[in-house]
Amino acid sequence: MSRIGIIGGSGLYKIEGIKNVKEVQVRTPFGAPSGKLVTGNLEGKEVVFMPRHDVGHRISPSHINYRANIYAMKKLGVERIISMTACGSLKEELKPLDFVAVDQFVDRTNYARDMSFFTEGIVAHIEFAHPVCEELRSIIYGAGKSLNLTIHNGGTYINMEGPAFSTLAESNLYRGWGMDVIGMTNFAEAKLAREAEICYVTLAAVTDYDCWHPQHESVTIDMIIRNLHKNVENAKRLLSVAIKNIEPRRSCACKDALKYAILTDRKLIPAKLKKDLNIIIGKYIR
């Protein structure tokens, strides 16, 4: 069964309107995912929902088990993931309450997190020039437009380690690099999803300007929380339209991402590893 995965970010811990809700505890060879996953039916499609920080926002960006989360999605038959994220804006024209249909990433984490299924005993190099599924991205962009939301068509998301926000010097550096929005979580998800041949797209919702902006000093936590809630409300509406518009079959390249990527001599891959990674590599390696 092919399902659509939804990952909720800060402020998004539940989606109303999912029918036939089941909470599922998924076991993975990489440990436990962020929490129970919710399966059900939304807009006539089978979906799986997971809040990446867990309900109650208890897991910090550096400590999220990204591998377990994406593996769990794969195990439940997810072929496409729409990932929601709150972000800071690095450009004047990307205003609080705007959405960005992100198309590029830059990684600035310190690798405290595991970002690959292929770390020991098997080597795979996926193509990652275009880290987001264009098919899915055009669907979320179109959904935003149809609702008259302000959504920007493309943008680069710089993934910092966190959990502290940037210094002013860092914020200005990222602006100098031409980055558009900043967050702490989506790069690892995008990479792992590609390795798992899952389509992935980031819907970034701007909560505030990062500290480079002259207005930043006057921004209160209250305002940020208000923006966060407003963004979540809009994101849910956008999601409903996007899910309705997703075709049952994929015609993008994401589904074959591993086809030529695994370089390790098949005879040398340990049996246990083959078993653990079967849902990801089983198509190519038995």
Interaction site with Zn ion (CB under 5 A): 133, 135, 199, 252, 254
How far apart are the C-alpha atoms of 42 and 19, rounded to whole Å?
6
List the helix and strand counts (H, then E) for the chain.
7, 11
With tokens 């505890």, the residue in question is 25
CB of 262 to Zn ion, least distance (A): 19
208 included as an active-site residue: yes
CB of 136 to Zn ion, least distance (A): 6
Rounded to the nearest 10°, the torsion over CA 91, 93, 95, 98 is -110
User: Between residues 175 and 250, which has the closer beta carbon with respect to Zn ion?
Assistant: 250
User: Between residues 84 and 254, which has the closer beta carbon with respect to Zn ion?
Assistant: 254
Q: Is 88 in contact with 182 (CB distance < 8 Å)?
A: yes
Kindly state the DSSP code that residue 262 receives in the 8-state scheme. Answer: B
User: Between residues 46 and 135, which has the closer beta carbon with respect to Zn ion?
Assistant: 135
- Please tell me which residue in 98, 103, 180, 210 is annotated as part of the active site: 210
Looking only at the bridges linking them, the beta strands covering 19-24 and 37-42 are antiparallel
180 included as an active-site residue: no
114-149 as b/e: b if 16+ CB within 10 A: ebebbeeebebebeeeebbbebbbebbbbbbeeeeb
What's the alpha-carbon Rg for the chain, to the nearest Å?
A: 18
Return the H-helix or E-strand segment holding 234. Answer: helix 221-245
CB of 7 to Zn ion, least distance (A): 16
CB of 167 to Zn ion, least distance (A): 36
User: Between residues 114 and 135, which has the closer beta carbon with respect to Zn ion?
Assistant: 135
Amino acid at 202: T
Residues identified as active-site: 208, 210
